[in-house]
Amino acid sequence: MLHTNTITSMSNIDALPLQVNNLHITKNGNALLNDLTLTIESNDITVILGPNGAGKSLLLRTAHGLELPNQGTLRWNATTPKPQNAWRAYIFQKPVLLRRSVRANLEYVLSLHGIDKTNYPSLIDAALEHTGLSQLAERNARVLSGGEQQRLNIARAWVLKPNVILLDEPTAELDPNGTASIEHLIKTIAQEGTKVVMSTHDLGQAHRLANDILFLHQGKLVEHTSAKVFFEKPQSQTAQNFIAGKLLNGD
């Protein structure tokens, strides 16, 4: 595959470690994230786990620079994130796609980052092949199935070969087949060297995908440990209750 100088320079950026120190986010007097301190250094799949309202999506948005803390810091390798950083991609729970073909959606992303048009075919074809969308390249994105739209959502992020991909509940609205397809794709992305940080409230999904778990509850970091330790011997009663299905939203 041909890579432009822009893409080559992005791939040379070392995004890790992600360091969060005393992070607070408060809105309308409510502490939504409360004194989070953590470090992520491993280049695999980190899952942010917790019930609805725990602060998972807010932490992801902050990691992408879409939210600013009221107090504390979040930095990727000592760099404060900005949404336009091309070395990092954010994938929303609900795909927001252009009313154009699958291929045109990818062309649009490349155009935003000033990629040389002579490299479009190789970059786009690779992204389509990786995500299983090659046969749908000329189809209107708006008529794709839910699972296909989410794969295109991921392809739009992956076409730039980012160092980090952030995913917010990527299978929340998919059926089991669509979920399995996206989970396989997430594993492939991580295996090819892109750091994946994703949120979910699905214990089964976290068990299948995670190398390490950030467990949030009511805006606080309750545990950060390997997935194996979290599921076999959680350190807190809150985590034990969540795994046992006793922890409800807002409890």
Give pLDDT, residue 247. Answer: 72
Give pLDDT, residue 113. Answer: 87
Residues of the chain with pLDDT under 70: 1-13, 248-251
Q: For 5-52+65-243, which CATH class?
A: alpha beta
Give pLDDT, residue 204. Answer: 95
Residue ranges of domains in the chain: 5-52+65-243
Give pLDDT, residue 83. Answer: 87
Q: Which residues of 149-182 are buried (b: 16+ CB within 10 A; e: fewer)?
A: bbbbbbbbbbbbbbbbbbbbbbbeebeeebbebb
Q: How is residue 110 written in tokens?
A: 């490349």
Residue 216: strand pairing partners: 221
Q: What pTM did the predictor assign?
A: 0.92
DSSP state of 21: E
| Closest alpha carbon to 156 in 100, 116, 118, 205 | 100
Give pLDDT, residue 65. Answer: 96
Cβ(163)–Cβ(195) under 8 Å?
yes
Report pLDDT digits (tens) over 31-82.
999 999 999 999 999 999 999 999 999 999 999 999 999 999 999 999 999 9
Give pLDDT, residue 9. Answer: 39
Give pLDDT, residue 12. Answer: 52
Distance CA 232, CA 241 (A): 13
